[in-house]
Structure 1
């Protein structure tokens, strides 16, 4: 039987629409996803861009209230922007209404102040370690060269966002320490540096699963393995290094009270339609949308099909890895590619993110994929 299939949602804002509608679309998609047999519905945290999931935990509560069975969670709460207590209390509040359905995913994107000097430095002064320049293909899975962050056209907006989200003088604890704090607050074993015991109310004892997210074979993957936590690898964002993240996680894994064996979720970007040509039409605009992120301006409103000019060679060069690894086509086409990704990574679950301009096209994409993956059949069994 196929592994479970889940959804990652950014609550994208389409050109001509607004954040209010994007949020309503997310809740609507979650209701359908539950009916179609998807296992989880996760929401991503992004700020100061044209996606509406910035207050991720608030939206998780709305999705949980609108559904009955599907697991709901974060992919991921950027821990450096929040105190551990605030995260646990918020999840504990939602769990009080919807016990046993929440996944608390933690990411370290916000723990990047150490990178600011590098990002602020002139491109000519940045160290650029040698990397391969050509795609490799592993059993049908494209693994492009890892993306070099120094290629960002303009990092000033990213730096400004970090400055706005983290108060002047504030310093987030190391990511490993913050993960330990979250677990201790959930367990009821948290103490301050001076030995004072504190208890999260609500939060302590909440039936929440803690996950870590990563896109390379670095700190997050190794930490998830050492702690014996489930791990999600972001192929959809970092296709050149996410397979390294899976390998690093498994190499570091130690059995724990959470898991006896490693548990891996692998993500992919996909657009499905009745036929390949229609799917390609629905995916138009994706390249410009990704370029808006890597170009330094942040994710723009998702453009309508045929509303953007062809990508220039320079634009395409900055995002070619993402174009090569977006799964676009008829159900059989996309299932074949997703199955190859699952097989190569030996993932226990596949997480799909789909962005189209029209909400109806996004719904149809997920519906067709669920049917082709056999979700309804598996649920009926």
Structure 2
């Protein structure tokens, strides 16, 4: 049976972006403000992503920031989209999220990725021993064991807090590796269509075809997509130039703080750079309410997602709030 927008839940992905001329402290205040509004507007989750050594992303200490957001809200689920497990000891993550679940019971999600979320030099600074991600299944099994009741203790090492707690674990991916693993383990799966659009449908099909009942009886797929909404198509297109500039900086190997919108991107990028950015952002939805609703409806029909996680970074916080408000109105009307 085909899914429609009204059949799905909607959530927020936030990187606590730092804008040009702004500070990290302002970014954190904006994140908690967005989370409180999202809770009021009916969003299901508010996830934060682990990235390191990127001047425009303030969510590097992800578990700490999750605690701040959960402590400043009341009902919305808060989690990681995701924790990059190769950067960390499985025991440390079990203890961190055991602490969060103990503080905010029934509201914490643990989304896990197998990429470092940074460059190799920074990955070495984080973990010393570089992991290629090939041992991710073993790390995941170790982490899951730490959450089991004390009867499953191995080598006398226990995660306290963490042991015996039900912290939902999600696998995140932008290719097929985690899709297959999530399916085989019966875990929920979240796909990053907002920066890997070409792999979206193959990964979702792989997840569903490889699914075996485990934690879940049936597959549950959440798909991330960038949406920049405004009261008019023209305004949304202009606001989106901040997002384009962010990915242009990544293409150029010089990521920086989120830049203000511009009137004409043609003055900034070369034809080759434009093609590269547009290819990577081909799933991005930009426009006024009618345009965004039509594209979101089409996105849900195409992906058959159970839940949509919306990422949307604009330079001005007020524009960001308005964008997420429009999206919530689309879902609720």
TM-score range, shorter chain: over 0.9
2:261 to 274, 299, 305: 305
1:210 lines up with 2:169 in the alignment? yes
Q: Name the CA shift for 1:109/1:86 in 2 (closer, same or farther; >3 Å).
A: same
Query: 2:195 touches 2:281 (CA, 8 Å); kept in 1?
Result: no
The reply to whether residue 286 of structure 1 matches residue 286 of structure 2 is no
Secondary structure in 2 matching 1:267: strand
Q: Which residue of 264, 280, 283 maps to 1:322?
A: 280
What's the counterpart of residue 369 of structure 1?
327
**TM-score w.r.t. length of structure 1:** 0.81
Residue 201 (structure 1) aligned with residue 157 (structure 2) = no
Where does residue 76 of structure 1 map in the other structure?
82
Task: Tell me which residue corresponds to 2:10.
Answer: 5
Question: Offset of 1:35 from its aligned partner?
Answer: 0.3
Which residue in the other structure is 1:166 paired with?
127
- The aligned length equals 325
- Find the partner of 1:296 among 240, 247, 253: 253
Unmatched runs of 5 consecutive residues or more in structure 1: 112-156
Residue 52 (structure 1) shift: 0.4
The change in CA–CA distance for 1:163 and 1:347 in structure 2 (over 3 A counts) is same
Match of 1:188 in 2: 149
Q: Is 1:255 matched up with 2:260?
A: no
TM-score (norm 2): 0.92
* Aligned residues: CA RMSD: 2.0
Q: Secondary structure at the match of 2:119?
A: helix
Which residue of structure 2 lines up, in the alignment, with residue 244 of structure 1? 202
1:228 aligns to 2:228 (yes or no): no
Give the equivalent residue in structure 2 for 1:58.
64
Say which SS state the counterpart of residue 212 (structure 1) adopts.
strand
* Equivalence map 1:312-351=2 (5 Å): 312-351=270-309
Q: Separation in 1 of the partners of 2:131 and 2:287?
A: 46
In 1, the alpha carbon distance for the partners of 2:149 and 2:26 equals 39
Q: 46, 53, 62: which one pairs with 1:41? A: 46
Assess, with a 3 A threshold, how the Cα gap between structure 1 residues 171 and 250 changes in structure 2: closer, same or farther: closer
Report deviation, 1:87.
0.4
- Superposed displacement of residue 243, structure 1: 1.7
* TM-superposition CA deviations, 1:320-340 (whole Å, max 9, x none): 213432100012211221221
